[in-house]
Every structure is written in structure tokens, then in C-alpha cells.
Structure 1
Amino acid sequence: MSVDAHRPLERPVIRVADLTGPDAIEVGSAVRAYLLQTELEKHQQERTVPDPAAPLPERYRREVETPAAAYAGHRVLLAQLEERVVGVVVLSEREGIAEIKRLWAVPAARGRGVGSALLDGAVHAAAASGATEVRLSVWDWRQGALRLYESRGFERVPSWDDRERLVCLVRPV
């Protein structure tokens, strides 16, 4: 993604994804990038060498291959810059609690407010649906993401997940 130095930076546009149409491809592609990056980072943290030919673990394939089925009952928002999809956030809701399941900004678009806009869009969508809090989890090595979440009012709480190094955060709506 190139940026014209003479044009002011455009703010990301956040919209609800239509998973029955072309947005499904965009969501699958963004989620694939997110999951592959996560798997690579896990190997780096464990100091193991990933197999570049290895497919995504089975538990993730449905999200990439059939996002409409994988995210049925979820709210999926897309971020666009210059009419290009540059990010995605997946929000689930249950019993007044919304949970951000995936949040990804294309690396080339980072630093342009994409992550902040997606996070704000997810919180707004949670509030509009009547949720009283939003929660999420993030790996402790993702310090940039932790700073973003905490800057938006998320606070660390005891973990609801038994995976080591996963940080859980909550914020009221």
C-alpha cells in the first residue's frame, strides 16, 4: 500500500462485513494472515523452527475457508482505506458480554489508526447490542496490541483461559 506524501492521511472506514458476498474472501484472507502471523510468533517465542509448508492447524481452517459458517452469530467488521480492506475484527456476544475474537490490521496499513478504528468500532457495536462489557485476550509478547487495548480503557484481569502467556483484558461499555 503506497501513501501519497502530499495527501492527508485518510481515516479508516469501518463497516459491517457481508459474509455472503465478496467480503467473505477479504475476511478469510485477513484472518489467514492473522493466524499465520500468530503461529509464526508462537514458534519464535518457543524458539522452534516453523515448517513453512505446514498448513494452518485444523482448528483454524474453517475460519479461513468458510468465514460465513465459522462466524455465524458473530459480528464481523472491516476497515477500509482508499477502498481497500486493511483490517478485520470479529466480535462474539453472549449474555451481555462481547468478546473480541480476532483483530487484525494489514502490516502495511499499521500506524494509520486501523487497529484503533476497529477496536472502537467493536466497542460501539457491543454497546449498540446491549453488552455491558467487552473482553479480549492477547499474547503477552504483543506489546503494541496491549498498549492499544489499555489506551482504550481495557484493564488486565485474571485469566479465563489456561494458555500460558495469554493476557485477558476487560472494559465496561
Structure 2
Amino acid sequence: MLIRKAHDNEYDMIKKQRLASYAAYKHAIPEGHWNVLKGTLSSENVKDSGAEIYVSEINGDIAGSVVLFPSKTKAYEWDSQTLEYPEIRMLAVDASFRGNGIGKALVQHCIKQANEDGSTFVGLHTANFMENAMRLYENLGFRRIPALDFEPLDDGIVVKAFRLDLNS
């Protein structure tokens, strides 16, 4: 498995893969929430934000991707606040590659990058219906920061904050 920065010509495929990966949640959440999530997953905001998209490549195929937003950027289009820390977002693994540690490897790569960039911690948010993701993050040492949780659509879907302290 090779973890590398995504090439510009791969971005549309990565967005499609991301949408397919998250489609499993489509019927588990309200339609309005799904529509907002779908918009976020296919947003062009990533290109102009200074964020890096990393992919996992296996035998020439993109198995998954993740976005690492640097600190001092705006990770959410609907929020005017900028991040005070790097944030991991939009982790997605193609269904045919799941169970091979790809998500874990992509998150670990982001942790390593944030550490090399001199950050003291890295954060992320995940929705309360993404139980497997929360388990992954907790197993990697992330801890919950409930004070940074938010409910973007007032529909019962809580987006939970996690943070990992780094040893710079």
C-alpha cells in the first residue's frame, strides 16, 4: 500500500468514491442531512483551502482517501470560523478494499504529517451514526472533546469532536 498526495486528475474519481463510501448512511439519516453531507463530500472547497488530499494506492487502484485541512483554514463552507489546528476530514475507503487497514493507514499518515508540521494536536469530527469510524479514532488514541461537538441541521445528528495530542 502506498499513501501519497492525490493528483489533480484524480479528484473527480475521489469525489465519486467518497460519495459511494458514505452512501451506506443515506437511509440511516434524514434526507436533508444526507443532501448536506453529499454536498460537503463533493464540494470544491477542498481545492481552494490549502488542504491536502491523500490517497491509498494498491496495485495502481485508489483504495481510499482522506483530507487533511491545515490549521488557520476554513474547513466547513457554512462556518465562518477558521481551524486552530489541523483537521482530518472525509475519510473514505472503497467497499472492495475495506477490512485491510486502509482507513487506519490514511489517518496515521495525517497524524504523521500534522506532527511533522509542528502541530501540537490534530482534530476531527464524525457524526454519531458512524460507529466504525469512532471506534477507529478511539483505537488510534483520539479522545472526545464534547465542547466542540455541533448539530449542523438541528435534526438530532450530532457531529462529535475528537482530538489527538501529538508528541512534536
1:166 corresponding residue in structure 2: 159
- Structure 1 counterpart of 2:51, one-letter code: H
Q: Which amino acid in 2 is paired with 1:168?
A: A
CA contact (8 A) 2:18 2:93 kept: no
**Aligned positions of 1:36-115 closer than 5 A:** 36-43=23-30, 57=35, 60-61=38-39, 64=42, 67=44, 70-72=46-48, 73-95=50-72, 97-115=85-103
Residue 77 of structure 2 is matched in structure 1 by: none
> 2-side partners of 1:25 and 1:108: how far apart?
19
Q: In the alignment, is the contact (CA less than 8 A) between 1:63 and 1:71 conserved in 2?
A: no
Fraction of identical pairs, as percent: 22
How far off its partner does 1:99 sit? 0.5
CA distance in 2, matches of 1:111, 1:35: 16
The answer to whether the 8 A contact 1:98-1:135 is kept is yes
Look up the SS of the partner of 2:148 in the other structure. Answer: coil
Unaligned runs of 5+ in 1: 1-11, 44-49
Aligned residues: 148
Structure 2 unaligned segments of length 5 or more: list them. Answer: 73-83, 152-156
Partner of 1:15: 4
Q: Tell me the C-alpha RMSD between the 2 structures.
A: 2.5
State the TM-score, normalized to the length of structure 2: 0.75
Contact in 2 for aligned 1:159/1:167 (Cα 8 Å): no
Q: How much does 1:36 deviate?
A: 3.4
For the pair shown, which has the larger CA radius of gyration, 1 or 2?
1
In 2, are the aligned partners of 1:105 and 1:114 still within 8 Å (CA)?
yes
Q: Which amino acid aligns with 1:57?
A: N
